[in-house]
Structure 1
Amino acid sequence: MKAHISEVFSSIQGEGTLIGRRQIFVRFSGCNLKCNYCDTSKNQDPLYGEEISVDELFERVNEIITPDFHSISFTGGEPLLHADFIREFLEKHNFKALIETNGSLPKELAKIVDLIDYASVDIKLPEHEASSNWDDLFGCELESIKILRDEGINTYSKVVVMPSTKVDLVGYIASRIAREVPDTSNLSMVIQPVSPLGLWADEERKLFRISEKAGEYLDVLVIPQVHKLLKVR
């Protein structure tokens, strides 16, 4: 089996609850959404990058493993467009793995949930992605979180916020997760201020308000994209 992959590289995880961990990033091509803050827009093209096999990917990963290696991050694009490829890879090669997904493809997620260790579900806001029905999209994201939690996967939800983001909307999302996911005791919500951080020069108090509102329902962390602050990929 083959998949289009734009890059395979080793770096420091700059987002979410695995921040600071040394990972090997496998960036798949193709995405089913078009978010206006996307910083890997070339990867929306399903044919971008190089088509490689499972065994070729293993060779590339194996070449760049370092002593501080923690896990593989399957990212994109949308990696769940390649769920069958990921399953074959992880069945053949026993790596700890993080899936970074927009959560819109719960049936594809179900194909690999028994093989992954960590998951980041990037919950979109209506202001992020205008081509989809937001209620339906959010419903799929909730279903993905339930699938992950049912399997006991270490999971966090992530919400990229902008200065224009409505505080009550983030609160609504957090309340729905708290109400509809059976166990949220270890389920954090990461509030990620959109880059560049200069956009927040006059809006830092809004981040506090967003965090406070979401914190009524879930454990909350506010974490910017640290890899951009470090100026690494």
Structure 2
Amino acid sequence: MSDAKPDPGSEPGHDTEPHSPGHASRLNWLRAGVLGANDGIVSVAALVVGVAAATSDSGAILIAGVASLLAGAISMALGEYVSVSSQRDTERALIGKERTELATMPEQELAELAGLYQAKGLSPETARRVADELTAHDALGAHLEVELHIGTEELSNPWHAAFASAIAFTVGAILPLLAVLLPPPQWRVPVTFLAVAVALIITGWVSAALGDSPRMRAIGRVLIGGLLALGVTYAIGGLLGTSV
């Protein structure tokens, strides 16, 4: 009978657990994409439903829907670009400061790194040994990971964020636009409500699955909020349509 211990990677459950450094970052990107699509679904659906309640003119509905899609996608892209650019500038400044401190005061930085590991629960001797070994291997990387929780290879990319946000919004917006334009006029609003409800259920489920959170709660939030937005704009569009 062998006394060899099993490889941790082969134990039940380990093959599905996230161990790569970028796993959390990828999950955040996926979740942001799902939420961007959700924004596209709700905002464009609410607008076209409101217009459809006021007029049956397909041209007016198409113009309003396309304008909403383009404005929303551009706005989302610009917002993400500005936000992520600011984050990237901050990360670069922190990396530069840490690199300077390592070059000018290496002993103090080594003691600081050991102290950080000691604060995590390691004994002073073990913390010092870990700090020594990590500093010899990659001093900057060790400090960035433990002290600042960032990595030089994982800096946020504002262009990626902008394009991803714009694409996600556009994909989500196309559904209500098609749903309101393809059916006959008398079916436009019901079909759009149904299509949006199904889409929101899917995005809510996917968002919850990515975060491993309760599915029904997430679905309920996005579904109630989205349908409420459609109901309000439909009522306003109906009132404006009858008063014109």
TM-score, reference length from structure 2: 0.22
Which has more strand, going by share of residues? 1
Greater RCO, 1 or 2 (C-alpha within 8 Å, sep 6+): 2
